[in-house]
Amino acid sequence: MADMLQFDLVSPERKLASGLARAVQIPGADGDLTAMPDHAPTITTLRPGVLVVEGASGEDRYVVTGGFAEISPEATTVLAERAYPAAGEEARAALQGILEEVRGKAGAASGADKDVLDKAADDLAKVIDGL
């Protein structure tokens, strides 16, 4: 089908989702982007955010904390360090834990590292608020 693309979401420990999708919204490091069929081949890193998959039967949302996405005209593969379905308490609890950790690291870091970590913490806080 030309109006669908193959979508896979994998984390190091398991495959979280796989199927056909109309479009995938990806929280890229330089800003959100939406992959649709026949997208130019792209590789992008992720920032903490929400991944929205428009499948045949509706919309699925996943929270990702980082990783990267590989987009080709026929398929989109998201390799997330950690990913959770956005609905449910598990994601919120896990994110809170990660946020604490990142804030702790940001407190100890300095210079460019601190900026990066602060930004990650802000992104995470925004994601948690948005749930």
Partner 1 sequence: MPSLKDLKNRIASVKSTRKITKAMQMVAAAKLRRAQDAAEAARPYADKMADVVNGLAASVAGSDTAPKLLAGTGSDKTHLLVVMTAERGLCGGFNSSIVKLARIHANKLVAEGKTVKILTVGKKGREQLKRDLGAHLVAHIDLSEVKRVGYQNAADVANKVFDMFDAGEFDVATIFFNRFESVISQVPTATQVIPAVVPEGAEAAALYDYEPSEEAILADLLPRAVTTQIFTALLENAASEQGARMSAMDNATRNAGDMIDRLTTEYNRSRQASITKELIEIISGAEAL
Rounded to a whole number of angstroms, the minimum distance from the CB of residue 76 to partner 1 is: 12
Helix (H) or strand (E) holding 107: helix 89-108
Q: Beta strands of the chain (E only): which ranges?
A: 5-10, 15-28, 31-35, 42-46, 49-55, 58-64, 67-71, 75-80, 83-85
Residue 65 three-state SS? coil
Query: Contact with partner 1 (CB under 8 A): which of 28, 37, 48, 49?
Result: 28
* Interactions with partner 1, residue window 103-122 (CB under 8 A): none
Q: Contact with partner 1 (CB under 8 A): which of 1, 14, 112, 129? A: 14
Question: Which of 1, 2, 30, 112 forms a contact with partner 1 (CB under 8 A)?
Answer: 30
Nearer to partner 1, 97 or 107 (CB): 97
**What's the rounded Cα separation, in Å, for the pair 7 and 12?**
17
Site residues, partner 1 (CB under 8 A): 8, 10-15, 28-30, 33, 40-45, 67-68, 70, 77, 79, 81
